[in-house]
Structure 1
Amino acid sequence: MVPITPLRTMALSMGASRRTMVSCTVCAWRRHLSTSRPYLADKLPTPAPGAAPVEAPKPDLPGSAIHAPRAYGKKITNFTPQPLPRPIGMAHPPHPEDNSGVDRRSLKERRDDFVDYDKHLVRRKELKEKMARPYFRDWRNMQFHEGKSFIAPPLPFKADMSLFFPNFVGDTLAKNANNPRDTTRTLLGKVSVVAVYSSQWADDQAKTFISPEANPELHELLAKTPGKTQVLQLNIEDNKFKAWIVKMFMGNLRKQIPEHNWGKYFLVPRGITNEISESIGYLNSKVGYVYLVDNLCRIRWAASGPSHPDERESLVKGMKLVLHEWNKNEKAALEAAQVKDAAKGKKEVS
């Protein structure tokens, strides 16, 4: 890099015209060295395309949908879980690269974010909340109804009002799978029951909804609708060491899970962000959560903690209703396509 001071001394010893030219060079060099935040922040980052383009983003709903104990904020001394008041989920359709840890930003976009003070404030707030979070708060909240955050709705949410299930990336039990894999491509085109947990206690709670012993009606429905329904399990391990241990004992997990379900068990080695936790109602990492997700990755039903008999019934009933709705839409789309083809054929003949 050429030092600026010698250039200034040389400019003073020259004539007026040459001094003007060198001065302009010095100014240009200074402009090259300086980088202003407003200039860099002009270009907004291009949003990633959604994996389900047929669905438009939903408007952000005001406030939290669930009033329940959390791992942060004010400590609660008394709590009774209530039914979900409205749909939960993300406002935008999921993308297979979301939450994968891969940074697709260009160097220009990274530099823009680095000098954006507003984004620094947001990141600072996130770090402060993470540092101020009590370590044992989730365990203390287990005293309220075994950690149950909310009660499942009796009927699934309407399709046009439902929000989206986020994408997760993790390793499956399938030996020939191209790990890591994303959940979005696995969920698209099927009605899925998704169990999310991060501990053995939470796993046992989720099994009260999805195991053949606890919910035989669910597995009867799965057997009657092969290729259209499935059960996914997401084991969230935000601790790298614990994730490594679980990965070392994948062989034992394969003995516990039927081989045809190996590709539907995901070990996710990344924690869930606060935004996702609040959006999908994952409010206690020590509790198991179950979601009914339709063929377009929309959350149509959700439950938490240990199951109640009426919740197991509403899960099966909701799955039947979502399947009926999907079949009805497919039939209507097929009839519309046939009418369109017939009209096109008549037009060509005439």
Structure 2
Amino acid sequence: MITRTNARAASCLACQWRSFSVSYRRFAVDKPASPSTTPAAPPSSRSKIPPAPKALEVEPGSSTTADASSIPATPLQTKPSGPLAHAPRGYGDKLEEFTPTPLWRPIGMHAPPSAGENTGIDHRTLKQRRDDFVDYDKHIARRQELKSKMARPYFRDWRNMQFHKGKTFLSPPRPFKADLSLYFPNLHGRTLDPSSSKTGTGADTTPILQGRASVVTVFSSMWAENQIKTFTSPTHNPSLHALLTTNKSLGAQLVQINVEEDTLKAWLIRLFEFSLRRRVPKEDWGKYFLVRRGITEEIRESIGLLNGKVGYTYLVDHQCRIRWAGSGVAHPEERESLNKGLQRVLDEMEKEGVAVGRGTVRKGVVKGGGFKAGA
């Protein structure tokens, strides 16, 4: 009985060793032989290793291959350019030192805005979604987009706050010339107007900005909101509110955009809308936007929203063009330049005879291919 048990155990161990050795050779990676060692002998016929699969070779004109040029580059793949190329971002290289410099060129979108853009709502049909799902080029582009979001450091924006309290750039001393300025994009979101809250439908910023001289603030946290108050609050800038009150009939207004892409925080803001209505005058409820989606990386790079924890202030004219911009905490000279810029835009509107709220957005002409601040 003992002999049979030992023979059976020995046969089981032999089977296990044979299976382990075969699997080990099958999944082993062939390494190139070094010059000092002799080349290995070819495997025997009993243990043939299957050759490694070759890459599928497809003709360049075939639809199964993705052209690299057709895949849009993500922010992690492209090197920033323009007047804010040296500014710290939530992605890319980590900066150890940074000093903000004044804007020497206009910022904004090259195409004029229109209502209905950048809503973040998917209007595709089921057939279109199915076609996009099986499209290899779009699949690769989406993969690159997700990779860029996953590779972004979570605390990078908070770390960049150490540089001058997150100030990305200094405001230009004078507003940009009208014919050289670029456009503020259309954003879509809910307002504090009770009718918008009941119906659940959003509103666009472009109809609110057309035909008016607007001071637009963009923020996404209490810290950022306190920063933009240094530009626009009656305590810090009483001259600005005097201009807004005196020239309200000419189209001077203050527009606030609260950006919150996190679903839970957005629901909390919606839950406490009554507290926001107490702080905002009733006639300005339709000018306070709660934006959840639609702000792409292209928009952030174009208008300078490089840090989600920092507040930004813009002066937008009746053609939805960005004539002046500020970031972070205001300096005294920046508040003065904002007030002078608003007065200049109001003078231009009065000179052109623009009807309040009835301005049309037309594409400006850039002369000489360059951008510079107006005199």
Say whether the fold is shared (TM-score over 0.5): yes
What pairs with 1:1-350 in structure 2 (closer than 5 Å)? Answer: 37=63, 63-66=81-84, 67-105=86-124, 113-114=132-133, 116-177=135-196, 179-227=201-249, 228-270=251-293, 272-330=295-353
The structural deviation recorded for 1:116 is: 4.9
Note the alpha carbon deviations across 1:48-107, whole angstroms, 9 max, x for none. xxxxxxxxxxxxxx9232021100000000000001121111111112211212334567
Instruction: Assess if the C-alpha contact under 8 Å between 1:236 and 1:271 holds in 2.
Output: no
Instruction: Assess if the C-alpha contact under 8 Å between 2:120 and 2:294 holds in 1.
Output: no
Q: Tell me how far apart the structure 2 counterparts of residues 183 and 259 of structure 1 sit (CA, whole Å).
A: 18
Residue of structure 1 equivalent to 2:19: none
Instruction: Assess if the C-alpha contact under 8 Å between 1:206 and 1:305 holds in 2.
Output: yes
Q: Tell me how far apart the structure 2 counterparts of residues 121 and 322 of structure 1 sit (CA, whole Å).
A: 45
The structural deviation recorded for 1:114 is: 4.7
Q: Give, as a single letter, the amino acid of the residue that structure 1 aligns with 2:254.
A: V
Residue of structure 2 equivalent to 1:58: none
The structural deviation recorded for 1:272 is: 2.7
Residue of structure 1 equivalent to 2:31: none
The structural deviation recorded for 1:259 is: 1.1
User: 1:85 and 1:252, CA in 2 relative to 1: closer, same or farther beyond 3 A?
Assistant: same
The structural deviation recorded for 1:131 is: 0.5
Q: Give, as a single letter, the amino acid of the residue that structure 2 aligns with 1:329.
A: E
2:194 partner SS: coil
- CA-based RMSD: 2.0
The structural deviation recorded for 1:254 is: 0.9
The structural deviation recorded for 1:306 is: 0.3
Q: Give, as a single letter, the amino acid of the residue that structure 2 aligns with 1:90.
A: M
Residue of structure 2 equivalent to 1:339: none
2:293 partner SS: coil
Note the alpha carbon deviations across 1:2-42, whole angstroms, 9 max, x for none. xxxxxxxxxxxxxxxxxxxxxxxxxxxxxxxxxx859xxxx
User: 1:90 and 1:114, CA in 2 relative to 1: closer, same or farther beyond 3 A?
Assistant: farther
The structural deviation recorded for 1:118 is: 4.0
Q: Give, as a single letter, the amino acid of the residue that structure 1 aligns with 2:81.
A: G
- Greater mean alpha carbon deviation, residues 290-299 or residues 170-179: 170-179
2:195 partner SS: coil
Q: Tell me how far apart the structure 1 counterparts of residues 245 and 172 of structure 2 sit (CA, whole Å).
A: 25
Q: Give, as a single letter, the amino acid of the residue that structure 2 aligns with 1:210.
A: T
Q: Tell me how far apart the structure 2 counterparts of residues 120 and 275 of structure 1 sit (CA, whole Å).
A: 20
Task: Name the structure, 1 or 2, with higher relative contact order (CA <8 Å, separation 6+).
Answer: 2
Instruction: Assess if the C-alpha contact under 8 Å between 2:305 and 2:312 holds in 1.
Output: yes
Q: Tell me how far apart the structure 1 counterparts of residues 277 and 193 of structure 2 sit (CA, whole Å).
A: 9
Q: Tell me how far apart the structure 2 counterparts of residues 78 and 278 of structure 1 sit (CA, whole Å).
A: 21
Rg comparison, structure with higher value: 2
Residue of structure 2 equivalent to 1:32: none
Q: Tell me how far apart the structure 2 counterparts of residues 114 and 188 of structure 1 sit (CA, whole Å).
A: 38
Uncovered stretches (5+) of structure 2, i.e. residues with no partner: 1-61, 65-79, 355-375
TM-score by length of 2: 0.69
Q: Give, as a single letter, the amino acid of the residue that structure 1 aligns with 2:305.
A: Y
Q: Give, as a single letter, the amino acid of the residue that structure 1 aligns with 2:244.
A: L
User: 1:214 and 1:124, CA in 2 relative to 1: closer, same or farther beyond 3 A?
Assistant: same
Residue of structure 2 equivalent to 1:346: none
Q: Tell me how far apart the structure 1 counterparts of residues 138 and 180 of structure 2 sit (CA, whole Å).
A: 31
User: 1:329 and 1:37, CA in 2 relative to 1: closer, same or farther beyond 3 A?
Assistant: farther
Q: Give, as a single letter, the amino acid of the residue that structure 1 aligns with 2:142.
A: R
TM-score by length of 1: 0.73
Q: Tell me how far apart the structure 2 counterparts of residues 224 and 176 of structure 1 sit (CA, whole Å).
A: 29
Instruction: Assess if the C-alpha contact under 8 Å between 1:64 and 1:278 holds in 2.
Output: no
Q: Percent identity?
A: 59
- Greater mean alpha carbon deviation, residues 105-114 or residues 122-131: 105-114
Higher helix share: 1
Instruction: Assess if the C-alpha contact under 8 Å between 1:37 and 1:116 holds in 2.
Output: no
The structural deviation recorded for 1:113 is: 4.6
Note the alpha carbon deviations across 1:249-307, whole angstroms, 9 max, x for none. 00011111111111111111226321111010000000000011111111111000000
User: 1:175 and 1:78, CA in 2 relative to 1: closer, same or farther beyond 3 A?
Assistant: same
1:128 partner SS: helix
Instruction: Assess if the C-alpha contact under 8 Å between 1:237 and 1:271 holds in 2.
Output: no
Q: Tell me how far apart the structure 1 counterparts of residues 177 and 262 of structure 2 sit (CA, whole Å).
A: 36
Q: Tell me how far apart the structure 2 counterparts of residues 273 and 155 of structure 1 sit (CA, whole Å).
A: 29
The structural deviation recorded for 1:214 is: 0.8
Q: Tell me how far apart the structure 1 counterparts of residues 63 and 234 of structure 2 sit (CA, whole Å).
A: 58
Q: Give, as a single letter, the amino acid of the residue that structure 2 aligns with 1:191.
A: A
